Structure formats: C-alpha cells, structure tokens
Amino acid sequence: MSETHDITAMADMFDVICPMHLLVNADQTIAHVGPTLAKLSTGGPPKGRAFFDMFEITRPSRLKMSHAIFTETSTRVHLRLRHARDVKLQAIVAPAPMAGMHIVNLGFGISLRDAVRRFHLNSSDFAPTDLAVEMLYLVEAKSAAMEASRKLNRRLQAEKAVAETQAYTDTLTGLKNRRAVDHILQRFLAAGVGFALMQLDLDFFKTVNDTRGHAAGDYVLQQVARILREETRALDEVARIGGDEFVLLFQGNVDETLLTSIAERIISRVQEPIFFKGDTCTISASIGIAPVRAGTVLTAQQVFANADLALYASKENGRGRYTVFTRALRRKAQIKKAEDAQKDASDAA
C-alpha cells in the first residue's frame, strides 16, 4: 500500500514538472504516462501496455535490444512512435526510487513544431519551465513575419509592375506611349536588329474636335487604336505618341511589300466614316515608313527624322496615303532647307 502511494505521489509530481514522462515497471510494461504523452497514444490507455509496443528505438543502435535501454541509463535515446513513425522523440531513462522501475522522460526535439500541430498541443501541455513552446512561438512569429514580408514584397512588386505599365501606357487608348516607344527603339538599335517604324498622323482630326467636340475626338482616337491593333501582329508594337500621332514598330527585316500592304489596309479602314452619337466623323491617315536593316547604325532621332520626312511627303502629296523613306527624300529636304536659308538671307539683305 505504501509503495502504491509512493508511485502515485511521484506520478502526480512528474505530471506537473515532466508531463511527457512515463513510468516503466520491471517487466517493461507501462505503469503511468504523463498527460501530454497520453495525447500521443492510440489504441486505448497506455497503462499496462508493453513499452516496446508503443515505442521503437532508432538510435543508438547498441540500445535496440529491448532490455538495453533500461540497463544503460542517462544516455540520450532516439525513439519513434510505432503508430506514428514520423513522430520522432528523444528520451532519457533513469532508475525510479521503487525497485525495478524506471522513469523515461521524453521530448520532441526538432520535430516539436510538427508534433504541436499534429496532436493539437499548447503551452499547458509542457512543463512551466520548458522553453520549447516559447521558442516555438518565436519561430512561428518569425515565420508569420517572414510570410507577411513576402506578401508585402509580392504586393509591392505587383504595384510596381502596374505603375511601370501605366508609365508606358496611353490612358485614353490603352496603347503604348512615347516613353515606351523610345525604350523599345533604343533596345532595337542596341541589338542591331532589323525593324521598321511606321508613323501615322490623322488628317482632318482637328476639324472633328472643333465641330463635334473633344468627346467625339477621343472616340475617334479609340477607334483608330482598335484598327491599328487589329491590323498588326501580337509581336508588333503600337503606340500613341501624342495628339493624333501614332507609331507602329515592326521587329525583323520586314519586307517592304508587307509594310505597304499593312499601310494600305490601315488607310482604307481609317477613312471609313466613324459614327458618334448620331454624328459622322470623317478622317484619313497619312503614313511615313522608315525601314531599318539589321546592322544599320542609326540613332533614334535619325529613325524618327526619316519617318517624319516620309510622312511629310505623304501629306504634301495629298494626304490619305503612305510613303516609304528613301535617300532621295533626304536630299530633297536638304535642298529645300538650303533654298529656304538662301531666300531668308536674301530677304534679310
């Protein structure tokens, strides 16, 4: 009776200070388990079961014999539950005051986090002086903080991407803007690839704005943007660079026949009447095309200047047409510039 009382008193004490302990009888059956360890058990109460029906020794190998763990005490032993082999435990075995009995005190070690989640443990399942749960809370807090930081970074990256997209987008038409064209053009020139720049101005657009209002003008610009997207490939770049000016960039040594065919289709579609709130808006498109062969050394300013000369020729020749840049256009422009300078000098004299 006295020994039973002693076992009960000792068990009660260890339930508080070592809630993951168990008492093992001389015949290696379990006499008592702590409250936390009891939560890990399946198949009925652990009391009375053989120790090795519940646990399997994994390290050290010399202790894998069923009796060795109780003869070589004070050695750290690695165990796992037989019904949950992925739950790894560490244990220290020590003789109990009662003859033939042993105390086995267990801990989760590095598997603490998984065990807490799996068996729904909390701070009350550990000894008040055990810092394991506090360390777990710190790890969880750090993980939560890192996840919050990752989410914030993802959100900032998404917002940055949106801001960059907006910075390169014309808000009215959804096309790219002049900044985007400059960026793409510099990339083409740096890579030395062939490409073509098509510059388009709308003829009589000012008349639409003046007579139909700016709402009608905005609608016309949006319809022209739609046409340009429909008449180009997904890999081509379409931009509105200001007012009624548009730019199309075609990557690759684009055949001149293909470029002129695209220009003809655009001109044909743009000159069709556009209806806005019962009013008819009539415009046309003048286009200048500046092809750039692979390996040609030019600046962005020179490419635009060539397209401008071709566009000016289209307007000068009656509008609603396209012109492909040639060196003859540049010579003609240089001659005209010299004549104008000479005329200005004569007038000044």
Q: What is the 3-state secondary structure (H, E, C) of the chain?
A: CHHHHHHHHHHHHHHHHCCCEEEECCCCEEEEECHHHHHCCCCCCCCCCEHHHHEEEEECHHHCCCCHHHHCCCCCEEEEECCCCCCEEEEEEEECCCCCCEEEEEECHHHHHHHHHHHCCCHHHCCCCCCHHHHHHHHHHHHHHHHHHHHHHHHHHHHHHHHHHHHCECCCCCCECHHHHHHHHHHHHHHCCCEEEEEEEEECHHHHHHHHCHHHHHHHHHHHHHHHHHCCCCCCEEEEEECCEEEEEEECCCCHHHHHHHHHHHHHHHCCCEEECCEEECCEEEEEEEEECCCCCCCHHHHHHHHHHHHHHHHHCCCCCEEECCHHHHHHHHHHHHHHHHHHHHHHC
Q: Which of 2-6, 79-83, 216-220 has the highest mean pLDDT?
A: 216-220
Q: Is residue 325 part of a domain?
A: yes
- Indicate whether 38 and 63 sit together in one domain: yes
Active site residue 244: yes
- Indicate whether 336 and 196 sit together in one domain: yes
Tens digit of each residue's pLDDT (9 = 90 or more) over 185-199: 999 999 999 999 999
CATH label of the domain that carries residue 55: 3.30.450.260
Return the higher-pLDDT residue of 326 and 109.
326
- Give the least confident one: 40-54, 134-148, 221-235: 134-148
- Indicate whether 153 and 228 sit together in one domain: no
- Indicate whether 35 and 105 sit together in one domain: yes
Catalytic residue among 244, 255, 308, 344, which?
Answer: 244
Q: What is the mean pLDDT of the chain?
A: 87
- Indicate whether 232 and 313 sit together in one domain: yes
Q: Which of 19-23, 41-45, 107-111, 194-198 has the highest mean pLDDT?
A: 194-198
Q: What band does 258 get if pLDDT is binned at 50, 70 and 90?
A: very high
Q: Is residue 18 part of a domain?
A: yes
Reply yes or no on whether the pLDDT at 266 is more than 90: yes
Tens digit of each residue's pLDDT (9 = 90 or more) over 269-307: 999 999 999 999 999 999 999 999 998 889 999 999 999
Q: Is residue 95 part of a domain?
A: yes
Reply yes or no on whether the pLDDT at 13 is more than 60: yes
Q: What is the mean pLDDT of residues 316-336?
A: 92
Tens digit of each residue's pLDDT (9 = 90 or more) over 170-188: 999 999 999 999 999 999 9
pLDDT of residue 1: 47
Tens digit of each residue's pLDDT (9 = 90 or more) over 237-247: 999 999 999 99
- Indicate whether 146 and 88 sit together in one domain: no
Q: Is residue 172 part of a domain?
A: no
- Indicate whether 196 and 238 sit together in one domain: yes
Q: What is the pTM of this model?
A: 0.57
Domain hosting residue 155, numbered range: 131-167
Looking at 145, 167, 189, which one is the last position of a domain? 167
pLDDT of residue 120: 83
